[in-house]
Amino acid sequence: MPRSPLEVVQDFLAHAFNPDEIEDAVERLVAPDATYVSLSYDDPELGRIMPWAGTKHGAKAFVDNFKGVRAHWWNDTFEITDTVEQDGRVSIFGRFTLRSVTLNQAAESPFVVFAKVEGGRITYFQYMEDTFATARTFREDGNWTIRADPTATDPIQV
């Protein structure tokens, strides 16, 4: 019996963060020419911190991205809170807590996945999270000087 697009994406996510299971999950559930968008379409500066960020093509990108994430972080929790499915399109919302391998610093973040599924395989996958929070798990030292408020006289030190 064919599975719904939502079931395909949930099956993928159930195995994606396990380095021993991601290759099999990709082979079963991802189209060979699928597109993966992680965190941004193209941000070279973010890519220096998180090499999987940006737009990648092909099933191998899914393996590389999730293995890269797992090599940098331990996934303490991953909870799906809401799902939406319509005409082969799937949105999944939730929250996770991860901990950096290098500094053992944790961050909690919301996440959202938007995926397109055709013929039982993911053809497009976009993953978003609070990159400010997750990138901070790698911050070893120093402050960021931020001037966001046009009415403020002094910048913020983060």
Note the pLDDT tens digit of each residue in 117-127. 999 999 999 99
User: Could you tell me which of 109, 83, 87 has the C-alpha nearest to residue 96?
Assistant: 109
pTM above the 0.95 mark?
no
| 103 DSSP assignment | T
Q: Which residues pair with 107 in a beta bridge?
A: 98
What pLDDT does residue 156 have?
Answer: 84
Per the CB < 8 A criterion, the answer to whether 53 and 83 are in contact is no
What pLDDT does residue 1 have?
Answer: 54
Burial of 149 (0-12, 13-18, 19+ CB in 10 A): exposed
Strand residues in 11-105 grouped as ranges (E)? 30-38, 54-57, 73-86, 89-100
11's enclosing H/E stretch is helix 5-16
What's the mean pLDDT in 123-132? 95
In whole angstroms, give the CA distance from residue 29 to residue 96: 23
Phi-psi label, residue 85: left if phi above 0, alpha if psi -120 to 50, beta otherwise: beta
Q: Domain 5-157, CATH 3.10.450.50 — does that match?
A: yes
The domain locations on the chain are: 5-157
Q: Amino acid identity, residue 143?
A: N
Integer distance in angstroms from the first to the last C-alpha of the chain?
53
Q: How many residues does the chain have?
A: 158
Note the pLDDT tens digit of each residue in 10-55. 999 999 999 899 999 999 999 999 999 999 999 999 888 888 899 9
Chain centroid offset of residue 77 CA: 14
